[in-house]
């Protein structure tokens, strides 16, 4: 498919967000961060325990093993047309609490604006072509607390500010809250995340001059007006089991299930009120040095040209390498949603972990 076709797809995906009743709102926050999570098909709700927990489940932040952690990721989707960037920094305050700041951006740059390609006399004037960018961004401030009285129990929350824009034509500001919980015991893991717990509200503002409005009227398109977009809550419940085989070999098996409450979706189980989307992950590791990963998810009920329904799925693969518990490089072979028009992408992420050592003066005898 040509580059212009991909741009049109993404452009209209953003336009869908303008409606108050949009089913797929702020979907750029559902892609996932970190190559480990992508390789496991986003099945980290119960087992996440590092800086990326600010996204996957803030309750896991308090289980960080280091004082400071930094994570970076860049991914290019649709043949480098869409760029996805992620950066996060976490700080473990004490043995029971931690905080993190995360940033996510999905954008398409250098989109050609051909609204004014044709002048008033019907002539093509290519000098009237300009370019613009469309971008969805989110800032997350997360906090986690591990209860000393109940071993293995932790809770957390993330406050997120959302900024979205379509060039100079429109922009939106939004705010929402995620809340999570985790419990761990004897190699078993359980977790839950209520994403957009209070619903997330995006207030859209349009900046249309008379010339743009005239184009809308001539093409018989509806002129958009300022509106409020609402993202409904989604509940994600996960569980997992870690198995030690001895001599440093281990395996982790995880299962997550997303519960959406915005009526029917193209998921494995779709009801009139609730839709269920399960996804699985497996990770095989040796000590804390190397890990092989795979995940199965994005089950969808699709109809072919004969109106027959079939179930499709997405398989992801990944690899992780850790150097001296300081530098971790993760890789995932994945795509942005099992789209037949989109090739699989190679995604890499980097994590740096540092301890803070405080030197205490030695005691001397008087």
Answer whether 0.85 is exceeded by the pTM.
Answer: no
- Residue 197 CA to residue 49 CA, distance in Å, equals 21
Across the chain, what does the average pLDDT equal? 84
345 and 48 Cβ atoms separated by less than 8 Å: no
Q: Say what the pLDDT of residue 328 is.
A: 96
CA 125 to chain centre: 41
pLDDT above 70 (res 3): no
- Residue 47 CA to residue 194 CA, distance in Å, equals 16
Q: Say what the pLDDT of residue 9 is.
A: 38
pLDDT above 50 (res 366): no
Q: Say what the pLDDT of residue 10 is.
A: 41
118 and 125 Cβ atoms separated by less than 8 Å: yes
pLDDT above 70 (res 46): yes
216 and 206 Cβ atoms separated by less than 8 Å: no
3-state SS, residue 213: helix
Report residue 357 as tokens.
């050592």
Tally: H helices and E strands in the chain: 4, 17
- Comparing 70-79, 197-206, 353-362, the range with the smallest average pLDDT is 353-362
- Residue 258 CA to residue 345 CA, distance in Å, equals 24
- Residue 142 CA to residue 56 CA, distance in Å, equals 11
Q: Which CATH architecture has domain 3-354?
A: Beta Barrel (2.40)
pLDDT above 50 (res 359): no
Which residue carries 């099945």 as its tokens?
43
Q: Cα 261–196–348 angle (5° rounding)?
A: 105
Higher pLDDT pick, 302 / 159: 159
DSSP for residue 148? S
The residues spanned by each domain of the chain are: 3-354
pLDDT band at 332 (very low <50, low <70, confident <90, very high): very high
pLDDT above 60 (res 56): yes
Backbone angles phi, psi at 259, to 5 degrees: -110, 110
Enumerate residues 6+ apart whose C-beta is below 8 A from 186. Answer: none
H helix runs in the chain, sequence order: 3-16, 35-39, 53-56, 210-218
pLDDT (mean) for 40-54: 96
pLDDT (mean) for 351-361: 66
Using only C-alpha atoms, the chain has a radius of gyration, in whole angstroms, of 23
DSSP string, 46-87: TT--STTHHHH-GGGGGG-SSSEEEEEEEEEETTTTEEEEEE
The pLDDT > 70 percentage for the chain reads 87
Q: Say what the pLDDT of residue 303 is.
A: 72
pLDDT, tens digit (0-9, with 9 covering 90-100), for 223-251:
777 888 888 899 999 999 999 999 999 99
pLDDT, tens digit (0-9, with 9 covering 90-100), for 115-145:
667 767 777 877 777 778 889 999 999 999 9
97 and 146 Cβ atoms separated by less than 8 Å: yes
| Residue whose C-alpha is closest to residue 47's, from 243, 216, 178, 220 | 243
Report residue 242 as tokens.
């870690």
| Residue whose C-alpha is closest to residue 56's, from 72, 46, 45 | 45
Q: Cα 40–80–70 angle (5° rounding)?
A: 50
Report residue 304 as tokens.
């072919």
């Amino acid at each position: 498919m040509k580059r212009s076709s991909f741009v049109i797809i993404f452009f209209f995906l953003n336009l869908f967000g303008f409606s108050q009743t949009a089913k797929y709102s702020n979907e750029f926050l559902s892609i996932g961060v970190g190559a480990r999570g992508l390789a496991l098909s986003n099945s980290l709700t119960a087992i996440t325990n590092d800086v990326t927990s600010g996204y996957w489940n803030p309750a896991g932040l308090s289980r960080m093993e280091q004082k400071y952690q930094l994570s970076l990721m860049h991914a290019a989707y649709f043949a480098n047309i869409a760029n996805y960037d992620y950066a996060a920094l976490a700080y473990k305050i004490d043995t029971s609490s931690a905080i993190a700041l995360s940033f996510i951006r999905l954008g398409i740059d250098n989109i050609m604006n051909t609204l004014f390609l044709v002048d008033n006399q019907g002539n093509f004037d290519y000098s009237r072509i300009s370019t613009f960018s469309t971008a969805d961004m989110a800032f997350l401030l997360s906090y986690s607390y591990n209860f000393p009285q109940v071993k293995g129990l932790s809770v957390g929350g993330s406050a997120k500010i959302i900024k979205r824009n379509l060039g100079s034509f429109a922009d939106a500001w939004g705010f929402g809250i995620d809340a999570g919980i985790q419990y761990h015991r004897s190699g078993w893991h359980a977790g839950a995340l209520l994403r957009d717990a209070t619903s997330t509200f995006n207030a859209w503002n349009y900046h249309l001059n008379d010339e743009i409005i005239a184009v809308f009227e001539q093409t018989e398109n509806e002129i958009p007006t300022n509106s409020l977009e609402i993202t409904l809550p989604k509940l994600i419940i996960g569980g997992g089991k870690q198995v030690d085989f001895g001599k440093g070999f281990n395996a982790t098996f995880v299962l997550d299930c997303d519960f959406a409450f915005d009526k029917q979706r193209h998921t494995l189980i779709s009801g009139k009120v609730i839709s269920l989307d399960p996804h699985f992950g497996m990770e095989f590791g040796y000590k804390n040095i190397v890990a092989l990963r795979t995940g199965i998810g994005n089950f969808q009920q699709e109809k072919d040209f004969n109106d027959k329904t079939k179930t499709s799925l997405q398989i992801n693969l990944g690899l992780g390498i850790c150097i001296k518990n300081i530098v971790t490089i993760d890789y995932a072979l994945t795509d942005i949603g099992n789209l037949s028009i989109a090739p699989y992408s190679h995604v890499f992420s980097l994590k740096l972990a540092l301890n803070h050592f405080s030197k205490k003066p030695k005691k001397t005898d008087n």
